[in-house]
Structure 1
Amino acid sequence: MRVLLTGSSGWLGRFLAPALRTAGHTVTGLDLAPGPETHVVGNVSDRRVVDRAMGLGIDAVIHTAALHKPDIARYPVQAFVDVNVTGTLNLLEAARKAGHDRFVMTSTTSLMISEAIRREDTPEVIWLDERTGPLAPRNIYGVTKLAAEGLCRLHAAEHGLPCVVLRTSRFFPEDDDTHRRPSGENLKAIELLHRRLTVEDAAAAHVRALEKAPELGFGLYIASAPTPFAREDAARLKRDAAALIRERFPDAEAQFAARGWELPKSLGRVYDAGLAERELGWRARTDFAAVLAALRDGAQLPFAHDPAYTSPLIKGR
């Protein structure tokens, strides 16, 4: 299948393009920034650019291009609307016109986080799945990604274009600028318990969504590493997460301490990716147990951590 991959120069794109080729697909990359996986340089908000890319002979679209939360400090609100909403509409309309039978869009769990959820001041951990709502995104990034999801849903319902939307949890390699302690690799390891997946697993989820889209018609799924916790753990996770982690993973504290890490005292939210496993047949390969295995063996950690990572879009400015 000939796949148009938007965002091909980005962090996900550089892993998704080879994953698609391994699955037997031909990839045409479209991105605003040049890169080794990018064949068409331009903005998805420009319909002429989209049509030019489609004219290269395309059978399906995987749309990962977007302005993200860190871009809020660099771009005006209108740019988010142009790229995340108009760009998605341009691609959907072009795919429908071309008679495609599948469309996959990368969304984000961030749009599920209202200001109230962000505060995490409830007595129990907040359990988040596809039924969570009503949604009240707290910034322009979330607002525009929610609108883009709606466009996908509308094109599936009104025009019969099968669409799968993946709300991915965190997979960025850089440090989180909102967390002081724990931070870095320690934080990423903890997040694999409840709000992170590897970029390789994110890529695999997109490949699987591409395969399943015609069968589903429309599907919306959280893509995150499988949590070892259940809803019944909500109060304990908020009250004393470290104790529960020690119960489930008896050597976790010792393995963390040997590296100078600490276990979390409390967790505020958990992303549940169970629906993706049941309906898409996708489950992240890397989880918290994989981190502990690497620590025991003195092996490389199974996730990317690069504090110096800079988006190709920023580098080109």
Structure 2
Amino acid sequence: MRVLLTGSTGWLGRYLAPMLRARGHEVTGLDVAPGSDTQVVGSVADRALVERTMLSHGIEGVIHAAALHKPDIIRHPRQAFIDINATGTLNLLEQAVAAGVDRFVFTSTTSLMITQAIRDETATEAVWLDEDSGPLAPRNIYGVTKRAAEEVCRLVHAETGLPIVILRTARFFPEDDDTHRDLSGENMKANEFLNRRLTVEDCAAAHVAALEKAPAIGFGTYLVSAPTPFARSDAAELKRDARAVIARYFPDGADLYAARGWHLPDSIGRVYDAARIEVDLGFRCATDFAAILSALRDGRPMPFEHDAGYVSPALQDGF
């Protein structure tokens, strides 16, 4: 299949493009920054460029991973988020329909599910989040424009029948968190595999699965995160004493962490439940918290990427 991959030079794109080619797909990359997997340099906000790319490369499927992200809020005005995240998605969808594309995968984010109250952890128990959670009230322009793009996807599918799969991805960035400094970046990432993270490799694999299953799905929205070990019945205790809950599931976890000089979370305020994508698409992330502890137990490197100094290629190019 001839696939248009937007965001091909970015963190996800550098893993996704080779994975698509390994599955026998012909990949055309589009990104604002040049790269080895990017054949077209430009923005999805450029409607004429999107049209030319679709037609000249005979595109049959689209994976739309390009976006401005939360850290970009300090660098770009709100209008840029609207132009790229919302209007850019509309451009791709409408030109995909015009070009006869038969499937479309949109990279969304779990961030749009996090209200200010959820972020502030005001609830008395951990908030259990899945595709039915709501009402949605994104707390910043990133989440607002991703939510708008999801609604554009829904509308275009309803009007044209274009098969579309939306993937609300949990965290998979390699750099340190831009708001929390109480733990080392690697320790924090390891903890998040309990409730809100996945590897970039698993994220890429989810996109490949979505591309291949989109015609059978028709339209679907899926949360993508490492499978949580917890049950909904753990929610109250997770907020009150997460370490006790973790100890029941992983009796040697505290000792393994202590040997590394790491700390388990005292409290967990939210849990992402990615069960639906496993049922509908047959996809399950390969790396979970058990894999983290296995690596600690065996003295192997962590099974996830951590690069505190990572800078996106777009930022390096001054975009």
* 2: CA distance, partners of 1:182 / 1:236: 22
* 1: CA distance, partners of 2:261 / 2:122: 28
* 2: CA distance, partners of 1:274 / 1:183: 29
Map 1:150-165 → 2, pairs under 5 A: 150-165=151-166
Gaps of 5+ in 1: none
Map 1:231-250 → 2, pairs under 5 A: 231-250=232-251
TM normalised by structure 1 equals 0.99
What are the Cα deviations for residues 236-284 of structure 1, in whole angstroms up to 9, with x where unaligned?
Answer: 1000001111111011111111110011100010000000111111100
* 1: CA distance, partners of 2:12 / 2:221: 19
What are the Cα deviations for residues 197-218 of structure 1, in whole angstroms up to 9, with x where unaligned?
Answer: 0000000000000011101110
* 1: CA distance, partners of 2:213 / 2:202: 16
- 2:200 aligns with 199
Conservation of the 8 A alpha-carbon contact between 1:176 and 1:183: no
* 1: CA distance, partners of 2:181 / 2:57: 47
Report how far residue 162 of structure 1 moved: 0.4
Conservation of the 8 A alpha-carbon contact between 1:224 and 1:284: yes
Report how far residue 86 of structure 1 moved: 0.6
* 2: CA distance, partners of 1:43 / 1:52: 12
Map 1:52-67 → 2, pairs under 5 A: 52-54=52-54, 55-67=56-68
Map 1:87-102 → 2, pairs under 5 A: 87-102=88-103
State the one-letter code of the partner of 1:114: T
- 2:113 aligns with 112
Q: Percent identity?
A: 68
Report how far residue 155 of structure 1 moved: 1.1
- 2:17 aligns with 17
- 1:135 aligns with 136
* 1: CA distance, partners of 2:130 / 2:226: 13
State the one-letter code of the partner of 1:12: L
- 2:187 aligns with 186
- 2:45 aligns with 45
* 2: CA distance, partners of 1:153 / 1:198: 27
Conservation of the 8 A alpha-carbon contact between 1:61 and 1:103: yes
* 1: CA distance, partners of 2:178 / 2:66: 22
- 1:149 aligns with 150
- 2:28 aligns with 28
Report how far residue 77 of structure 1 moved: 0.4
- 1:257 aligns with 258
Aligned residues: 317
State the one-letter code of the partner of 1:110: S
Conservation of the 8 A alpha-carbon contact between 1:14 and 1:37: yes
* 1: CA distance, partners of 2:51 / 2:159: 22
- 2:85 aligns with 84
- RMSD between aligned residues: 0.7
Moved more, 139-148 or 54-63: 54-63
- 1:7 aligns with 7
Q: What SS does structure 2 have at the residue aligned with 1:90? A: helix
* 2: CA distance, partners of 1:232 / 1:175: 31
What are the Cα deviations for residues 7-39 of structure 1, in whole angstroms up to 9, with x where unaligned?
Answer: 000000000001101111110000001111100
- 1:292 aligns with 293
State the one-letter code of the partner of 1:306: D
Conservation of the 8 A alpha-carbon contact between 2:71 and 2:178: no
State the one-letter code of the partner of 1:111: L
Q: What SS does structure 2 have at the residue aligned with 1:176? A: coil
* 1: CA distance, partners of 2:101 / 2:315: 33
Q: Which 4+ residue blocks in structure 1 deviate beyond 2 angstroms?
A: none
1:270 aligns with 2:301: no
Conservation of the 8 A alpha-carbon contact between 2:44 and 2:92: yes
Report how far residue 300 of structure 1 moved: 1.1
- 1:122 aligns with 123
State the one-letter code of the partner of 2:23: A
Report how far residue 98 of structure 1 moved: 1.1
What are the Cα deviations for residues 217-239 of structure 1, in whole angstroms up to 9, with x where unaligned?
Answer: 10100000000001100001000
TM normalised by structure 2 equals 0.98
Conservation of the 8 A alpha-carbon contact between 1:7 and 1:31: yes
Conservation of the 8 A alpha-carbon contact between 2:6 and 2:31: yes
State the one-letter code of the partner of 1:47: R
